[in-house]
Structure 1
Amino acid sequence: MNPDIDPFTEFLASLQAQFSGVTVFVQSIVTPGWRQNQIIILIALASIAWVLHRVSGNLLENYVRSREGWAKWKLRMVVQVKRRLGLMWFALMAGSIYLVMQNITWPSRSYLIGLAATLAAVWVGIAYAARLVRNRFMRRMVMWGLWIYATFYFLNIADEVSAFLDRLAIEVGDFRLSVLTIITAAVVIGVLFTGARLVSTTTSARIRKNEDISPSMQVLAVKGVQVLLYGFAFFMGVKAVGIDLTGLAVLSGAIGVGLGFGLQKVVSNLVSGVIILIDKSIKPGDVISLGDTFGWIQTLGARYASVVTRDGKEYLIPNEDLITGQVVNWSHSNDFVRLDIYFGTAYGDDPHVVRKLAVDAAKGVDRVLSFKAPVCHIVGFGDSSVDYILRFWIKDPTGGLTNIRGNVYLALWDTFKEHDISIPFPQREVLMLEDSKLALSRGTHIPAPE
């Protein structure tokens, strides 16, 4: 760029040059000749491709509907093919006509047809290659970006467009930031991020398959690998386009102090998450109780832990609450959990028999451990019953606690009913005196005793 020329003036001159080139091309198309004939052929091919797209798309859809049990990836592939059948037909027909015209006439008389066939084929390839990007928004951005670049490249105007974008710049002292630099940085960082994601996914899968590493350390290792790879990709991408980050050191320090005061809770949750992963107090799969919330840890995030309850609710509990609050971890050191249930029987039933029957009933329930034998003890003499406690162990608290208690209660009911053991309930007797019966029969008011 010439420093003696005003940037805005140079920008206008560039636009004028581009507009002049477009005007010349349009005039050549309007003028009768082989270039106009090629445009007419391309329009006819586009119309035929549109008709073939509708017809072949319906045939393909009917064929797929007649098939059952296809895998989802096959159905997705068919959908992608159906969407781009028109472009495929156009590329196939334009390419065939181009090859024929190359052999029967001068090459210049089929140049536009060959260019259109090449662009159509490249666009189809880019559309399928972009499917490697999972995020829908990013996939569209990548696809459109590659389409635009491929078009400029095959039109031999990529250098002119690059120079034009480089002239659109902001200059402050020695600092210069152009649109071309921003686009280049986005592309380089995107490619590096894609590579980092692929490496991170592969590494994470291997870490999770390693049974020698505890679940909490697996989560910590996976997050560490992700932070390292994505951070490296970002800085390498920025350095690759020539942006100097040393000048941002002071600014980043000031921003860090501001964020430290404004995002104390967020930072606290992040630090608490790291502490949880390091001390292994809570790990994915553990069954915990926090206040009224009872469930098992599904995932440990950077800011919160996902706890799923038996009724399907998913609670997102901040990591700070798991550090500062009282948490009951039912499976911290092992999966064994002891449960207690209370019941009572009549005073006329032999307590020795009741205890034996209760233990046998608990042993016959699924999920109750036999090698940790249930025990039954008398805990008191109530107003109308002898009170007992039955204790038993299970090894799968994730299977639920209420349901196993209910099954043991049901087993006790069946056993006691079979052996004539009665479960008492409070009863009251009302004695009617003779004078009271006579007064009631006459409807006389009975005075309250003084």
Structure 2
Amino acid sequence: MDFDLAAQPEIVQQAVGYALQFWDIAKTWLLSPAAWSQFGLIAGAFLLAWLINRKAQPALHGFLMPAPEQTGIFAALRRFIASFLPLLLPLLAFVFTAIGEQIVRSIFESGAVIAFGKRVFLFLAVRAFARDMVKDSFLRLIARFFFVPMAGLYALGILDLVIERLRTTIVPLGNMSFDLLWLVQFVVVGGLIFWLGRWSNDQSAGLIQKNEEMRPAQRQLAVKATEIAIFGVAFLVLMNIMEVNIASLAVLGGAVGVGLGFGLQKIASNFISGVILLLEGQATVGDYVELDGGEAGTIVKTTARAMFLETYDGKWIVVPNEDFITTRVTNYSDQGPSNRYEADFKVSYETDINRVPDIVEAAVATHPAVLSEPMPPDCELRAFGENGIEFAVEFWVEGIDDGKNKFTSDALFLIWNALKANGIEVPIPQRALHFTEADKKALMGV
């Protein structure tokens, strides 16, 4: 049956042309005795590979896989090699088919069918690699959407045709232009390079964080500097591999500079403030800080833009880095974990106040969290108040008096019990009322 495709779009005409070519090839294979013999060789190669894989894979798995408790470098290497076992079946079939292709070509001087089968087995190996072996989500994405389709096109024998079509499709971009093949290569190569950069950054950050000799602020600065260096090198390597002239990016760099000057002042300010904080070490991860605006919490994460504070009620507060530079910040942890608190109390005017300091200091010192250094508990007379004599006891502890810690509350319990045990009265507010004779008569209704 003939169809008039002259009025159809070019892409439709090309698709129909490829389909007719495939149909002609399929008819040739179905009617050719040599093709049937090649189909038999493909089936035999797969059957032989399946039998060998069935016997060899359990033995290889038992030989390669170490005991679960083994964690050395050789154990990790054996586990890595064992992870390639899913490729054993398609690769064996590929090897046996390649041997069969050489035999067929020496006899019939033609081996298109068995060559197609060999490429199919290679496609199955690539598919198994992407499905069963690649664990990283980003690498799996590249494998599934680039390597597997490329292997499929190779199996169909049209990979060269697709590559040529991508190479001849030019995309203009201002004064520059590039073909679609270059764009695909840029995405894949760039993704792999920056994935390697991310992995290298994670490894280096882990090593730096384990260095206890460095202060937390120095470790954070080293981590950020290493990250900038790694990704800077990755960018330059990518530009070199893709043969991109760095000078051609000057216009783009100028546009970014203008954007920073007009629309991204806050982002630039926060970035520079973050660098200053890392250099000076004013606040870093693990510090408990309180800002003028009332925000308070433990710094749990620092970024180029902001710091994340975690409060004791489980909330995270995002504070721009600029606020740590332009406002007053109280850092409870910069000079160490020790902090001083005080608990206020009163005693009645009938009390011998000379006994109070020794009693209260001894009671507060019994708390397991109260420190003797830099100072032991110190009870001070503060004022002669309206309802009693006012005292305060100062004491040092490690940590913040919030959340799970209730240092002031515990100290007040100890003070109350100690005063009661020694017969010292804690006064309550009292008011004395004085009535005139006229008031008395008015109350009595006289």
* Range of TM-score over shorter length: 0.7 to 0.9
Tell me which residue corresponds to 2:412. Answer: 409
Q: Which amino acid aligns with 2:406?
A: N
Q: Which amino acid aligns with 2:340?
A: R
Given residue 329 of structure 2, which amino acid in structure 1 is its aligned partner?
V
Q: How does 1:282-431 map to 2 (within 5 A)?
A: 282-290=283-291, 291-371=293-373, 372-397=375-400, 403-428=406-431
Contact 1:185 1:238 in 2 (8 A): no
Give 1:89 shift: 12
Matched, 1:121 2:125: yes
Specify the alignment match of 2:24 in structure 1. Answer: 24
Q: Distance in 2 between matches of 1:29 and 1:261?
A: 68
- Equivalences, count: 395
What is residue 170 of structure 1 aligned with on the other side?
171
Alpha-carbon distance between aligned partners in 1 of 2:405 and 2:254, rounded to the nearest angstrom:
53
Deviations 1:388-415 (A, max 9, x none): 0110011223875961111111111222
Structure 2 CA distance, aligned partners of 1:404 and 1:384? 26
1:16-47 CA deviation, whole Å, 9 max, x = no partner? 764454343454577697868959x99xx9xx
Structure 2 match to 1:55: none
Report the TM-score, using the length of structure 1 for normalisation. Answer: 0.74
Structure 1 CA distance, aligned partners of 2:174 and 2:342? 77
Report 1:33-432 matches (<5 A).
Answer: 113-131=117-135, 133=136, 136=137, 139-171=140-172, 175-290=176-291, 291-371=293-373, 372-397=375-400, 403-428=406-431
Q: Which moved more, 1:411-420 or 1:297-306?
A: 411-420
Q: Is the 8 A contact 1:295 1:307 kept in 2?
A: yes
Change (3 A) 1:31 1:344: farther
For residues 280 and 250 of structure 2, the distance between their equivalents in structure 1, rounded to whole angstroms, comes to: 33
Q: Distance in 2 between matches of 1:20 and 1:242?
A: 40
Deviation at 1:305, TM superposition (A): 0.7
Quickly say closer, same or farther: Cα 1:174–1:343, change in 2 above 3 A: closer
- Structure 2's unaligned 5+ residue stretches are 1-8, 51-85
The code of the aligned residue for 1:24 comes to D
Gaps of 5+ in 1: 1-8, 50-86
Give the stretch that moved more between structures: 383-392 or 409-418.
409-418
Query: 1:420 is matched by which residue type in structure 2?
Result: G
- Residue deviations 1:346-378 (CA, integer Å, cap 9, x gap): 112221222111111110112110232110011
Q: Say whether the 8 Å CA contact 2:91–2:122 is kept in structure 1.
A: no
Distance (whole Å) between structure 2 residues aligned to residue 212 and residue 93 of structure 1: 53
- The 10-residue stretch of structure 1 (155-164 or 360-369) with the greater mean CA deviation from structure 2: 155-164
Tell whether the 8 Å contact from 2:130 to 2:143 is kept in structure 1 after alignment.
no
CA RMSD of aligned residues (A): 4.3
- Corresponding residue number in structure 1 for 2:79: none
SS in 2 for 1:340: strand
- Asked if 2 retains the 8 angstrom alpha-carbon contact of 1:266 and 1:303, the reply is yes
Separation (CA, whole Å) in 2 of partners of 1:97 and 1:354: 96
- C-alpha distance in 1 between matches for 2:396 and 2:223: 35
Task: Give TM-score, length-normalised by structure 2.
Answer: 0.75
The question of whether the paired residues in 2 share the 8 Å contact of 1:11 and 1:164 is answered with no
| Aligned residue identity for 2:365 | K
Change (3 A) 1:271 1:382: same
